[in-house]
Amino acid sequence: MNWLLNNYIEVLGAVTGLIYLYLEIKQNIWLWPLGIATSAFYIYVFFTTKFYADMGLQVYYLVISFYGWWHWLYGGGSSKTDELPITKTSLKQWIYISLASVVLFVLMVFVLKNFTDSPVPYGDAFVTSLSITATWMLARKLIEQWWIWVVVNLVSLVLFIWKGLYPTSVLFFFYFTMAVVGYFEWKKEMLSEKLQVVRDK
């Protein structure tokens, strides 16, 4: 009981994070406001445990959640609905995503090694840089974002176990396994959307 009282913010963040994951897989737009709440909890958690890049990432999540919320509502560009469809990542998008991830990683390693007391600058920077680009992909409903989350969540799981963040470790174990489930759920939905378009023609 004392442990729960001392770590209730982390527990709340883990619970809202699990609900967020479920809503993401189901493509439920309420994932975005819930994501805002989850990020607020984890800004505090990561600040107190010196995961500074992850803390900065949560601030980014707050901002992009508003963008994702809007884009899911109005980014579809369809004559029948404005809902954003699931799509594959183009070669041009992959080039931009890869370059952005590398630049972010290098910058974060430099900042973390020279201006913070982060105990895991490379791991923290790796997870954070990929998470930034993967969240942008989620906002655009690019299906391959799930495979990036598989890598991110596995590395994060190892880091959080090492740091003793056990509720967050449980959360990221579910994130890791459900990212695979999410990919196949979105793939099934994407094929269904394509068949519907064919029928409507």
pLDDT confidence band for 99 (50 / 70 / 90): very high
Contact 113, 107 (CB under 8 A): no
Quote the pLDDT of residue 79: 43
- Cα–Cα distances (Å) from 23 to 9, 31, 38, 112, in that order, read 21, 5, 13, 33
Beta bridge partners of 142: 87
Sequential DSSP letters for 69-103 = HHHHHH----SS--PPPPBPPPHHHHHHHHHHHHH
Quote the pLDDT of residue 2: 59
Quote the pLDDT of residue 145: 95
Region 31-59: mean pLDDT is 84
pLDDT confidence band for 80 (50 / 70 / 90): very low
Quote the pLDDT of residue 200: 61
